[in-house]
Chain A
Amino acid sequence: MWKYFLRRIALSLLILLGVSALIYLLSMLMPADYIDNQTYAALQSGAMTKEDVQRLKELYGLADKSFKGIVKSYLSWLKSTMSGDLGFSFLYGKPVTKVLSEYIWISFLIAFISYILQIIIGIPMGIKASVNQYSAYDYIVSVFAMMGTALPSFFLSALLMNVFAIKLGILPLQGLTTATKLFPPDAHFQILLDKAWHLVLPISVLTLLGVGGTMKFTRTNMLEVLNSDYIRTARAKGLSEHEVTYKHAFRNTMIPLVTSLSGMLPGLFGGAMITETVFAIPGIGYMALRATQQGDIPFIMGYNMFLSILTVLGMLISDIMYMVVDPRVKLS
């Protein structure tokens, strides 16, 4: 088993290496003028010299765009990345790792709450729909689920903003804090409440978008399990439908469910670009989108690498969870 894991990890590292090369190449495609744009002001005010700019370009390997130059700069970037240094963000004027570690938490908080809500709402709904296949409930829930996956996040956000923030005026439109309200610095609870107040809409958006997928996944797997021989055996034992469903069938459905849900965990740190931007929540997604629009190459690279690592990590976790949950896998 350990051998298997070591192989998996080695493979993941290989994939990450490929991903980093690809992302690096993509960033190289971005015109280098962006550095000039970004440093223009600093250059004018004398905070930076021409040599600084050139050095920056060299530092990110943007000066030399020949193949050899790219390879060389990629290697040096890789080397510094290995040591945990993702470079320096132009836009935010801080090391990329610092920006990441500062802003992922609010993103994680939003994503995590909506993840929990998705589980709490989606799984019971999926089970109920599968037990009553083809009933009105099943249809309604299925349509609702697909609606969630079909809605663009920016449209749903706009709709909710229009209704709840503007028409009804019961929820704030944007931001994380109320700008017009001044809190005494020791009113931690009130500040927290104010922040929570601002997060209601973004969390609702993410939950509405994601709950359908969880529900549908549960339903599909549940249906498959409900048609199997051991469910017939369970019925033949005299177990009630409730026990058959929630004990025998659901325990089997748990396997794919836990596997996929646990694989989603690392991704929660990745931030929701569009939703955060629409609601102007200063999370990592919002920062990344701004950085992309402004051409902050070091940050873009760092962020994309970060996302890829999260993806790979998610795959590893779901592999491990699969072994934990499914008794059949342990031996092989």
Chain B
Amino acid sequence: MAMEKQNDLNNNYTDNNGSADSVLEQNFRVISPGRMVAKRFFKSKLSIAGLIMIILVFLFSFVGPLIVDATWGYKETQVFKIERNSDMVSKAEFYGPDGKLYTYYDKSQTLVVFKAPPSKDHWLGTDTSGFDIFTRLMYGGRISLVISFIVIFLETFIGIVLGGLSGYFGKWVDQLIMRIVDIFACLPGLPVLLVLSATINSIEGIPAEHRIYYLMAFLTLMGWTGVARIVRGQILMLREQEYMMAAETTGISALHRIFRHLVPNAMPQLIVNATLGLGGVILYESTLSYLGLGVPFPRAAWGSMIALADPSKGQEILANYPNMWVPAGILIVVTVLGFSFIGDGLRDAFDPRMKR
């Protein structure tokens, strides 16, 4: 009730230029619509938490490497050979001829150069190839964030164009595009991405650095349908709106009408969709990297760092070297969670219906 009232007043007073009967109306002020959105966004503690998480991850991934480079001079693929003695104790039990149980210990020392434990110089130690883990985490974040932003940008672009065409022209264009959307939406995401990545990996003519571009293209290909559906839905909904009818009666051209009203109307939804999508792309990318089909070695990727702990390759790292894989996992969770928090906060802020 109260909300309704204020909306009325908002409309009434925006165009008020101090006519005779506005004495009363000037003694109050309302919140600007933009600030209303911002206010609703910041009202939720989760949105603020998400924003902080993402800012921290960004600083870590983009500013971090610069600082590391300046202080220690570590590079992404710099190999550190830190010699240390690793004690290996093997134990065997056997029954002696007297029937008693004897335990046999054998302590051997081996010289290890990789897999250094955390130290002052290498905060999280080094991994199986002797790379500095802390530094690699930064570079891994950078590649993940860059990939996700580019993919989401492309997805949104393709989605707007195709969804727009579909909704604007209708008829057979709509039918055709929507069937394509259906087909793409029906493709099983991960398996198809695996097939595509495996194909690219096996083609020898493609240099390893270029695989990332293909990876982004594939991720885009699997994700644009959502945006196309949103945009098309918006256009169809707009066509039904009374104010579009009103605009039509005033003789504004259809294209102008659609795009003048579409952009502002669909924008909040697209922003929310994109924000939530960023996390999804990061998850996909790290899954592919985990399987060795994403960001190619020796480039760092969070997924491939966790892959070191794959128990199929032996339990040693999973059990004894959490410093190698836990931080990468935490960073993925923090990043994806941060994007979800922001996306949810934005959705609630843009769409106050849910927040009464």
A–B contact at 8 Å CB threshold (below): yes
Q: Which positions in A face B, CB cutoff 8 Å?
A: 11, 14-16, 18-19, 22-23, 26-27, 29-31, 33, 139, 142-143, 146-147, 149-155, 158-159, 161-162, 166, 173-174, 220, 223-224, 227, 270, 273-274, 277-278, 280, 288-289, 292-293, 295, 300, 303-304, 307-308, 311-312
Contact residues of B between 218 and 258, Cβ < 8 Å to A: none
Structural contact, B191 and A300, CB atoms closer than 8 A: yes
What are the residues of chain B within 8 A of A166 when measuring CB–CB? 315, 318-319
Structural contact, B306 and A150, CB atoms closer than 8 A: no
What are the residues of chain B within 8 A of A173 when measuring CB–CB? 311, 315
Q: How far is the CB of B326 from chain A (nearest CB, A)?
A: 8
Q: Which positions in B face A, CB cutoff 8 Å?
A: 45-46, 179-180, 182-184, 186-188, 190-192, 194-196, 198-199, 202-203, 279, 283, 286-287, 290-291, 303, 306-307, 309-312, 315, 318-319, 322, 325-326, 328-329, 332-333, 336-337, 340-341, 344, 353-354, 356
What are the residues of chain B within 8 A of A149 when measuring CB–CB? 336, 340
Structural contact, B198 and A158, CB atoms closer than 8 A: no
The CA of A11 and the CA of B183, in the complex, are separated in Å by 11
Structural contact, A15 and B319, CB atoms closer than 8 A: no
Structural contact, A273 and B191, CB atoms closer than 8 A: yes
What are the residues of chain B within 8 A of A220 when measuring CB–CB? 354
Structural contact, B290 and A312, CB atoms closer than 8 A: no
- Closest-by-CB residue of A relative to B319 is A166
The A/B interface has a contact count, at CB < 8 Å, of 146
Contact for A31 among B190, B203, B315, B322, CB less than 8 A: B203
The CA of A130 and the CA of B130, in the complex, are separated in Å by 50
The CA of A153 and the CA of B219, in the complex, are separated in Å by 19
What are the residues of chain A within 8 A of B312 when measuring CB–CB? 174, 277-278, 280
Structural contact, A150 and B279, CB atoms closer than 8 A: yes
Q: Supply 23 A–B pairs (Cβ within 8 Å), ascending by A.
A: A11-B182, A15-B183, A19-B187, A22-B183, A30-B195, A30-B199, A31-B203, A146-B337, A146-B344, A154-B303, A154-B307, A158-B306, A166-B315, A166-B318, A174-B311, A223-B354, A227-B356, A278-B310, A288-B191, A289-B194, A292-B195, A303-B191, A304-B191
Interface of chain A: mostly helix, strand, loop or mixed: helix
Asked whether A31 and B182 contact (CB < 8 A) given A152-B290, A289-B194, A292-B191, the answer is: no
What are the residues of chain A within 8 A of B337 when measuring CB–CB? 146-147, 150
- Closest-by-CB residue of A relative to B280 is A149
The CA of A159 and the CA of B322, in the complex, are separated in Å by 9
What are the residues of chain A within 8 A of B344 when measuring CB–CB? 146
Structural contact, B195 and A270, CB atoms closer than 8 A: no
- Give the 7 A-B CB pairs with smallest separation, nearest first: A155-B329, A150-B336, A307-B188, A18-B183, A150-B337, A166-B319, A292-B194
- Closest-by-CB residue of A relative to B43 is A134
Asked whether A155 and B186 contact (CB < 8 A) given A162-B319, A227-B356, the answer is: no
Interface of chain B: mostly helix, strand, loop or mixed: helix
Structural contact, A274 and B340, CB atoms closer than 8 A: no
What are the residues of chain B within 8 A of A224 when measuring CB–CB? 354
Q: Give 12 A-B pairs besides A29-B196, A150-B333, A158-B329 with Cβ atoms closer than 8 angstroms.
A: A15-B186, A16-B186, A18-B179, A23-B187, A26-B192, A147-B337, A152-B286, A154-B306, A154-B310, A161-B318, A162-B309, A304-B195
Q: How far is the CB of A302 from chain B (nearest CB, A)?
A: 11
The CA of A28 and the CA of B145, in the complex, are separated in Å by 32
Structural contact, B319 and A26, CB atoms closer than 8 A: no
Q: How far is the CB of B228 from chain A (nearest CB, A)?
A: 15
Structural contact, A158 and B332, CB atoms closer than 8 A: no
The CA of A271 and the CA of B256, in the complex, are separated in Å by 48
The CA of A27 and the CA of B191, in the complex, are separated in Å by 11
Structural contact, A27 and B315, CB atoms closer than 8 A: no
Asked whether A151 and B333 contact (CB < 8 A) given A15-B179, A158-B309, A223-B354, the answer is: yes
What are the residues of chain B within 8 A of A19 when measuring CB–CB? 183, 186-187
Structural contact, A26 and B290, CB atoms closer than 8 A: no
- Closest-by-CB residue of A relative to B309 is A158
The CA of A181 and the CA of B303, in the complex, are separated in Å by 34
What are the residues of chain A within 8 A of B356 when measuring CB–CB? 227
- Closest-by-CB residue of B relative to A18 is B183
Asked whether A308 and B311 contact (CB < 8 A) given A150-B337, A159-B329, A166-B319, the answer is: no
Asked whether A270 and B186 contact (CB < 8 A) given A139-B46, A292-B198, the answer is: no
What are the residues of chain A within 8 A of B187 when measuring CB–CB? 19, 22-23, 304, 308
- Closest-by-CB residue of B relative to A31 is B202
Q: How far is the CB of B356 from chain A (nearest CB, A)?
A: 6
Structural contact, B45 and A139, CB atoms closer than 8 A: yes
Structural contact, A312 and B186, CB atoms closer than 8 A: yes
Structural contact, B188 and A158, CB atoms closer than 8 A: no
